[in-house]
Structure 1
Amino acid sequence: MIDYFLSLGSTVFVPIVLIIIGLILGQGILRSIRSGIMVGIGFIGLGLAISLISDRLEPAVNQIVERFSFNLTVIDIGSGAAAGVAFSTLVGALIIPAVFLLNILLLIVGFTKTMNIDIFNYSHYAFTGAVVHLITGSIVLGIGASLIQATWSLLSADYSAKKVQESLGVEGISIPQGYAASTVPLFTILEKIYNRIPFLRNSQLDISYLQGKIGMFGDPVIIGAVLGVILALLAGYNFVEGTNLLMSVVAIMVLFPRMVKIIVEGLLPISESAKSFFNKRFKGKEVFIGLDSAITLGLPTTQIVGTMLIPITLVLAVILPGNQVLPLGDLAFVAFFTCMATIIHNGNILKTIISGIINMIGVLYIASWFAPYFSKLSANSGGTSIKGQTTALWNGNVFDYIIAQIGGFGMIGLIVLIVITIPIGLYVKKVTNPKSAR
């Protein structure tokens, strides 16, 4: 049954869920169907844009790696393969109903405001639980670790929801996606630090500032063209290959915002219905629809910084002492790793690039630490035929790391994680409560 739902894909499953939500909220059958289908169309468009990254950027990245002969021993096989490994484990087989039921329970008791319908990214929780299961030998502890991470992701989504809504221009949504949610604490702490440094606090380096200062040179299309030229030169491409890569980079920067606008068009009626529904029946209680972080990729700062971080991450992989990971499968998708920095830093390019570099340093080290565990899980599932150790930048998730480290101590570790989670939840509830904010 789980395989059947996963086989539907986000372009079918998410619209079905949104249609059901629309009907529950009293939106009417035709409006609900239109909203759900519009979101599905947007996700199809995002998928086409993402396929450009896979088809055009990945070969360029592979060429750069091969050309400069990076000597690193652990291969990054990418998030798609990593998610497949996570879902193929025993914990992965149980995780979807377990997390879904937990989410409903936490909504009922008021511990979260987010209903996470991003089921395809439950794989992050499955991976953490599978590692704890591997360390302890207990499926109960593995499931417990997964549920802790799911809870942390929901709380992170609640905490960042208002900024997400302001950035995207749509109310009633949040981002509980397993990786993006894990970066919110880091980027929030860095934002507080930046605000104590005059140079960074006073920085106005965003897209509108660039366009105001340097005109068309600050336009995302022109910036995309420049970044395309840089990547083509690093890859050693000829004119034909280089111009094709350039056009692909620019197309990504143009298409992502367009597709996100279609998703927003579908979400806005649901958001308005939800607001009316909860105001009427629950005295204004907020409930957010938890979506994939892909909907944030239309922000120009994310696209610019994400592309800049491709060569920067390769340099970091080579120079960082103790790193073993050769970035490969996930390298072209670095924008996903920094998308929440754009939101937390209000689109500031300078802050986002600094935070992106700091985050990718952590990603490389954490992915290196997980390599032995991931390689064993992958071998058990028949997930890869690559000799030696494998991992994915996708594994470089700080929530995964903290929970796996503490959860590895067994039942004591799980109790410690529960004890940590309760005050975090109470804090998030306090700071996100409109009454307390006033």
Structure 2
Amino acid sequence: MNILQYILDLGPAVMLPLVILILGLLLRQGLGKSLRAGITIGVGFVGIGLVISLLTENLGPAAKDMAERFNLGLSVVDVGWPGASPMAWASEIGTVAIPIAILVNVIMLAFKMTKVVNVDIWNIWHMTFTGAIVSTATDSFWLGIVGVIIHSIFVYKLGDWLVPVVDKYFGLPGIAVPHGSGTWTAPFAVVIDAILEKIPGIRKISITSTKIEEKLGIIGEPAIIGSVLGLVIGFLAGYPFSHTLQLAIQMAAVMLLMPTVVKFIMEGLMPIAEAAREMLDKRFQGQNLYIGLDPALLLGNSQVVAASLLFVPLTLVIAILIPGNQVLPFGDLATIGFFVSYAVGIHRGNLFRVIISGSVIMFITIWISNMMVGVHTKLGLATGAIKSGQVASLDQGGSPITFILTELFTLKNLVPLLVIGIAYLFSIVFMYIQYKRNKIYSDDEVEGEVYESTSIGR
């Protein structure tokens, strides 16, 4: 376990390249090709880390200053996934979560319950966090294990159902993205998309960053949009004009840099993923297995980047509007893209629909996060991650999966449990029906964009 913890502590920028290197050697890609793929992916993750740091270190404080300036009463800071994931790994559940999640995947594959072969080991922290929260809330290690198992099963199944979106919209054939914070949002987006499709007039509204650029010319370019958002947030935060200008340029940089650094991950990943798919096709003919990978692959899409920046101020507004909310979105503002990435694909890049479904998603996320402050803080204190005060997180701390499992075992928030539980169960059942009908992502005209890599494997 000490060796496993050592590898985990290296972080995804080192751990995933090691996994890819080993996977490449197992796939007989040779040391040179496998090493190049691993290092290239590592470079991509370092790049993403730098871009996220750019947001966390500049946009996060601006959001906090804005909340304090207008006395919004948001006193519990969202520590984000950088604060939540160490709590998960440091918990008792963290010592066994990875082998359990892998075993669940193997059993599901053996019984043909999933087509996802998950190699995204780092993001098992999402399942781990659910188990840790359940264990903390119930004082039961074994119920925590149940939480890990249920979350793992759920995420692998959602990964199956969302393959058409990953393939057809994002242009990543043979790949699934079974991610704890990315996939849980998808059922809501599927329901909302179906509703909007039935409303005359509304169904015809389509807004993408590409169309904005075409209509507005240079004003609609991603860098300009990012800089305008930076100006607005800097102004609302009460920053001096010089500081506001700096924030504007930093947000413009995010719009341009994020798709660029993601391309490094794709460059290193696609040859290995293609080799893995060919091997799986030979060994498991007719099963059409998919390689489960990190959702960072989805962040290179320009519509996802645009939605991410739009939802920084929108998330703050939503946090203000929720009655009784104390959680100030902060740490996860930099990774809002994970929450809305699947919505972008499901809505085919239509930012109008993404804003609607994303607002529902972030409302539910913050609402749950606020109700989970007590047990989240208890976990933080138990693991030594915090010494005093209160903490929250949007990523996993605001997950319906974690909330529903915790409340089913403790029954402390019955009315929210019924509301969220019924709404989410309906969304999941509806999504499954749409999946069986091949309607989660049909072959209609795509309004968004796909990567150049769509030709790989075709």
Instruction: With the length of structure 2 as denominator, give the TM-score of the two structures.
Output: 0.85
Q: Any idea what the Cα deviations from partners look like across 1:348-407, whole Å, max 9, x if unmatched?
A: 1101111111111101110011111111111222221342x3211221111111222234
Aligned to 1:415: none
Aligned to 2:127: 125
Query: Aligned equivalents of 1:107 and 1:25: distance in 2?
Result: 19
Flag the 1:239–1:322 CA change in 2: closer, same or farther, 3 A. Answer: closer
Tell me: CA distance 1:199–1:87, structure 2 relative to 1, closer, same or farther (3 Å).
farther
Instruction: Please name the residue that 1:384 is paired with.
Output: 386
- Stretch deviating more after TM superposition (99-108 or 359-368): 99-108
Q: State the distance in 1 between where 2:245 and 2:224 align.
A: 14
- 3-state DSSP class of the match of 2:291? strand
Counterpart in the other structure of 2:68: 66
Contact map agreement 2:100 2:148 (CA 8 A) in 1: no
Deviation at 1:209, TM superposition (A): 2.0
1:322 and 2:324 equivalent?
yes
Q: Which residue of 2 aligns with 1:263?
A: 265
Task: Please state whether the residue corresponding to 2:105 is helix, strand or coil.
Answer: helix
Match of 1:159 in 2: 161
- Pairing 1:88-127 to 2, within 5 Å after superposition: 88-127=90-129
- Matched residue count: 422
What residue identity is the alignment partner of 2:113? Answer: F
Partner of 2:280: 278
Which protein is richer in helix relative to its size? 1
Alpha-carbon displacement from aligned partner over 1:189-233 (angstroms, at most 9, x marks no partner): 111111112333212211222223222222111111211211121
Instruction: Please state if 1:193 is matched with 2:198.
Output: no
State the partner residue of 1:369. Answer: 371
Shift of 1:78: 2.5
Q: Which deviates more from structure 2 when the two are superposed, residues 366-375 or residues 323-332?
A: 323-332
In the alignment, the residues of structure 2 paired with residue 165 and residue 430 of structure 1 have an alpha-carbon distance, to the nearest angstrom, of 14
* C-alpha distance 304-269 of structure 1, shift in aligned 2 (>3 A): same
Q: Aligned partners of 1:290, 1:174: CA distance in 2, in Å? A: 5
Give the CA RMSD over aligned residues: 2.6
1:21-32 map, 5 Å: 21-32=23-34
The partner residue of 1:406 within 403, 408, 420 is 408
State the secondary structure of the residue aligned to 1:289: strand
Say if 1:158 and 1:428, in contact at 8 Å, map to a contact too.
Answer: no
Partner of 1:40: 42
Q: Percent identity between the aligned chains?
A: 37
Q: 2:274 is aligned with what amino acid? A: E
Counterpart amino acid of 2:65? Q
Give the match's secondary structure for 1:347. Answer: coil
CA contact (8 A) 1:171 1:268 kept: no
Distance in 1 between residues matched to 2:141 and 2:168, nearest whole Å: 40
- Following superposition, which runs of at least 4 residues in structure 1 exceed 6 angstroms of deviation? none
Q: What is the SS of the residue equivalent to 2:77?
A: strand
CA distance, structure 2, for counterparts of residue 427 and residue 358 of structure 1? 20
Q: Secondary structure at the match of 2:181?
A: helix
Of 141-150 and 261-270, deviating more is 261-270
Secondary structure of 1:127's partner? helix
**Structure 2 SS opposite 1:393:** coil
Amino acid at match of 1:181: T
Shift of the alpha carbon at 1:52? 0.9
CA contact (8 A) 1:278 1:284 kept: no
Q: How far apart, CA to CA, are the structure 1 residues paired with 2:169 and 2:45? A: 19
Q: Residues 308 and 337 of structure 2 are in contact (CA less than 8 Å); yes or no, is this contact kept in structure 1?
A: yes
Q: What residue in structure 1 maps to residue 353 of structure 2?
A: 351
CA deviation string 1:54-110 (max 9, x = no partner): 222122222212222221343323221122222221112221121122222222222
- Offset at residue 166 of structure 1 (A): 2.9
Q: Which amino acid aligns with 1:176?
A: P
Once residues 299 and 18 of structure 2 are traced to their aligned partners in structure 1, the CA distance between those partners, rounded to angstroms, is: 23
CA distance in 2, matches of 1:397, 1:164: 22
Query: The residue matched to 2:287 in structure 1 has which SS?
Result: coil
Contact 1:76 1:390 in 2 (8 A): yes
Where does residue 7 of structure 1 map in the other structure?
A: 9
Contact 1:158 1:432 in 2 (8 A): no
**2: CA distance between counterparts of 1:232 and 1:428?**
45
Cα shift at 1:432: 9.2
1:223 aligned onto 2:225: yes
Mapped to 2, the partners of 1:263 and 1:237 lie a distance apart of 36
Deviation of 1:152 after TM superposition, in Å, equals 0.6
Q: 1:50 aligns with which of 40, 49, 52?
A: 52
Q: Aligned-pair distance for 1:249? A: 0.5
Work out the CA distance in 1 between the residues paired with 2:280 and 2:365. 39
Query: Which ranges in structure 2 are unaligned for 5 or more consecutive residues?
Result: 412-424, 444-458
Displacement of 1:268 in angstroms is: 2.0
* Paired residues of 2:227 and 2:252 also in contact (CA < 8 A): yes
**Corresponding residue for 1:416?**
none
CA-CA distance at 1:242 after TM superposition: 1.5
Letter in 1 for 2:70: F
Q: Could you tell me how far 1:427 is from its partner in structure 2?
A: 5.4
Maintained 8 Å contact 2:105/2:118: yes
* In 2, Cα distance between equivalents of 1:73 and 1:9: 30
